Amino acid sequence: MNEITLVGVDTGGTFTDIVALEDGPDGAGMRHCKVLSNPSDPSIPIVEGLQKLGLENRKLQIIHGTTVATNAVLEGKGARVAYVTSKGFADVLTLGRQERQQVYQLKQLETRPPVPRKLCLELTSRIAADGSLLAESSDSELAALRNRLESLGVESVAINLLFAFLNPGQEQRIAEALEGPWFMSCSSGVLPEVREYERGMATWLNASVGPVISRYLGRLQQRLPLANIAVMQSAGTTIAADQAAQQAVRLLLSGPAGGLAATRSIAAQTGNPKLMSFDMGGTSTDVALFNGEIPLTSQSRLGSWPLSIPSVDIHTIGAGGGSIARVDKAGMLLVGPESAGASPGPACYRQGGTQATVTDANLVLGRIPANTLLGGYFPLDLEAASVAVAKLAGDMACDVQQAAEGIVRLANEHMARALRVISVERGHDPAEYALLCFGGAGGLHACDLAELLNMERIIIPARAGVLSAMGMLVSKPGRELSRAVLQPVAELTDDQVGHWFRALETDATSQLTAEGCNPKQVTFTHQLELRYVGQSATITIEWRAGAAHEEIFHAAHLTASGLKLDHPVELVNIRLSARAPAVLESIDIPHSQGEADGIEIIRLPGVEADVALRSRRSLARGEVVKGPCILTEQVATSWIKPGWVVSPDEWGNLFLERQARA
């Protein structure tokens, strides 16, 4: 058995998933469990889960996807931040882009600014658009600023000088003068790129969640003194825990990123490079379009705030197993986005929840067997679920079955709409993709969603209920670095651009080496962010020495917009992705198959044919099973509808195909 056990942890809104990889007499084996999350201290269920697996006193290598930073932003529970900027620009974050959430609404809802006006402070320091220094704050001005910060009682300071990305020395000078009890966040270190609003927001977010992340990881390390902890970043790569707080803004999509890391591994394992990933948990659902590589974007949002840090291109909606169903004043059924979460949870959890949820509806419909032990240990209460759904049925003037079916149908519509956003609305035909369904509730809705999108193929991977935690294990240590340029491409040489990239490579390699990575194994991807002079939007292309980058950009612009303009092309930013080898290259872990478990024949409400109820591990490799059937396992349940056939591969992944329709 290995001296160090590799552990993946995915903390969600309802469950904390833990997987542990160990060597045994028959090769590598994996154990896993689900534990109810604890929003007040997410480290507690991690320790509880490790105790269930008997690993709390072992040497561990933990790779952790966390929602701590995300929740701090969405719930407004970040640190108290002072925003320091050049004179005349204190209102940049408040003004934003003046985008209307409801375009045709004459009276817009008043929104709270990210930083209160009294915490927006100005300095004389000013940098010109060419990077030259126009004005510099005196030592006495910086001393006065320090006194002001002390009187305001702030915990963090976000420094965002105009054009600081061209001259970072001024922000560094200010940070050194203010060195003390505050968490410092400089825009030139967080996002050294053009656009002062987006750069300022990233700097503020980093300052807001940095102390929160630092305290959380400190508690986790204290509870697990023998563990070496790395944290998943929004780009699907990992960073050492002791470096994570300084780059906290890069953790805001930490949790969902693990699912896409696993998607990449499943795509290689099954030979399916085109997948639509569907990760349905207890609180939310994450969907993404996968075409061979983890999709990244620099134009995502978190709640009301723009997130310009490179992040996995995921679309998230408030629809999960814990989504609450209710009837509005007009008698219309609504499902989500409010969730019962981990506490009190769905009514069937017997923890005080009384409102019907999607999980309760699936239990009432029999798609989740009444004797299910959630996570292998947590019993469900069918009677409590029936009472909750019956109350809703009374409000809807229908019977319990109809109410339960309505809840599931409406949840499916919400999730199908999300899948259309990342496929149809971007010009992709869902029928060309396989639907990869995972998360604790993904297999219950897979067939319905495929039918709504006219898809013919579904993959439900082995250990689907903890797949995001498994994705942590195959995630690579990495960095996403950038440098602003803002020069016409025609004026630049390959030597100049190559020199800038080599400087970024040195920086990334240094950071990864500090984490214990072998510098000789670090690989790089080089990209140029280009636009026509005068444009705001950019297009990103790969950089290769000697390539005709202007012509490549023209062709890409023609493809994206139907236009090719006779305008000079400007290089806005260069982007470098650095990757070190993952601790685990793939999740090709043997999965128990063909074990002798009995098959029970049951009847379900609304299903005319007999339904086979069997353990998922009873399916032998290559065996073909026709729906309707329910396949159970420790961490998930799959509902195979009539009209679908299912067969497992050697790794235990289930392949579903839609039978020919009459």
At 592, is the secondary structure helix, strand, or coil?
coil
Q: How far is CA 182 from CA 146, 154, 632, in A?
A: 10, 7, 51
User: Cα(530)–Cα(540) distance, rounded to whole angstroms?
Assistant: 6
Q: How far is CA 48 from CA 32, 56, 216, 220, 224, in A?
A: 12, 8, 16, 12, 11
Q: Which of 368-382, 518-532, 621-635 shows the lowest per-residue confidence on average (mean pLDDT)?
A: 368-382
> With 0-12 CB in 10 A as exposed, 13-18 as middle and 19+ as buried, what is 397?
exposed
The tokens of 237 are what? 């790569």
Q: Report the pLDDT averaged over residues 158-171.
A: 95
- pLDDT tops 90 at residue 72: no
Q: What is the pLDDT of residues 272-287, one digit of tens each?
A: 999 999 999 888 889 9
Q: What is the CA radius of gyration of the chain?
A: 26
At 273, is the secondary structure helix, strand, or coil?
coil
Higher pLDDT, 283 or 632: 632
pLDDT on residue 622: 83
pLDDT on residue 304: 81
Contact 570, 508 (CB under 8 A): no
Percent of the chain past pLDDT 90, that is, above it, reads 69
The tokens of 535 are what? 């444009």
pLDDT on residue 1: 41
Q: What is the pLDDT of residues 558-604, one digit of tens each?
A: 988 888 999 999 999 999 999 999 988 877 776 666 666 778 888 88
* Segment (H or E) for 471: helix 467-473
pLDDT on residue 596: 65
At 131, is the secondary structure helix, strand, or coil?
coil
pLDDT on residue 591: 66
Q: What is the pLDDT of residues 267-321, one digit of tens each?
A: 999 999 999 999 998 888 899 999 988 998 888 888 788 899 999 999 888 888 8
Contact 334, 409 (CB under 8 A): no
pLDDT-derived band at 23, boundaries 50, 70, 90: low
Measured over the CA atoms of residue 209, residue 215, residue 221 and residue 223, the dihedral's sign is negative
Contact 153, 80 (CB under 8 A): yes
> With 0-12 CB in 10 A as exposed, 13-18 as middle and 19+ as buried, what is 605?
middle
Strand partners of residue 569: 532
Question: Scanning the structure block, which residue is given the tokens 């392949």?
Answer: 655
Residues with Cβ within 8 Å of 148's Cβ and at least 6 positions away in sequence, in order, are 121
User: Cα(184)–Cα(169) distance, rounded to whole angstroms?
Assistant: 15
Q: Which of 29-38, 221-230, 489-498, 536-545 shows the lowest per-residue confidence on average (mean pLDDT)?
A: 29-38
pLDDT-derived band at 70, boundaries 50, 70, 90: confident
Q: What angle do CA 204, 279, 350 make, to 5 degrees?
A: 95
Instruction: Specify the amino acid at residue 464.
Output: A
The tokens of 107 are what? 């009276």
Q: Is cis: bond before 45, omega within 30 of 0? A: no
Contact 477, 579 (CB under 8 A): yes
Instruction: Specify the amino acid at residue 496.
Output: Q
The tokens of 249 are what? 């803004």
pLDDT on residue 119: 97
Q: What angle do CA 344, 50, 283 make, to 5 degrees?
A: 30
* Segment (H or E) for 68: helix 68-74
- Of 442, 432, 415, 428, which is closest to residue 262 (Cα–Cα)? 442
- pLDDT tops 80 at residue 662: no
> With 0-12 CB in 10 A as exposed, 13-18 as middle and 19+ as buried, what is 484?
buried
pLDDT-derived band at 392, boundaries 50, 70, 90: very high
pLDDT-derived band at 394, boundaries 50, 70, 90: very high
pLDDT on residue 593: 64
Q: Report the pLDDT averaged over residues 391-414.
A: 94
pLDDT on residue 127: 95
Q: How far is CA 74 from its chain centroid?
A: 14
Domains and CATH numbers, the chain: 74-213 (3.40.50), 476-579 (3.30.1490)
Q: What is the pLDDT of residues 324-359, one digit of tens each?
A: 999 988 889 999 888 887 778 899 998 888 999 999
Spell out a b/e string for 220-242, using b for 16 or more CB atoms within 10 Å of the CB, else e. bbeebeebbbbbbbbbbbbbbbb
pLDDT on residue 288: 94
Q: What angle do CA 109, 113, 119 make, to 5 degrees?
A: 155
Instruction: Specify the amino acid at residue 83.
Output: Y
- pLDDT tops 60 at residue 26: no
Phi then psi dihedrals of residue 231, to 5 deg: -120, 140
Max Cα distance, the chain (Å): 83
pLDDT on residue 590: 66
Q: What is the pLDDT of residues 112-149, one digit of tens each?
A: 889 999 999 999 999 999 999 999 999 999 999 999 99
pLDDT on residue 181: 92
pLDDT on residue 164: 94
The tokens of 507 are what? 């920086």
Contact 209, 248 (CB under 8 A): yes
Q: How far is CA 191 from CA 105, 232, 310, 400, 523, in A?
A: 33, 19, 10, 53, 22
pLDDT on residue 27: 47
- pLDDT tops 80 at residue 25: no
Contact 433, 289 (CB under 8 A): yes
Mean pLDDT, the chain, rounded, equals 91
pLDDT-derived band at 58, boundaries 50, 70, 90: confident
* Segment (H or E) for 382: helix 382-396
At 539, is the secondary structure helix, strand, or coil?
strand
> With 0-12 CB in 10 A as exposed, 13-18 as middle and 19+ as buried, what is 613?
middle
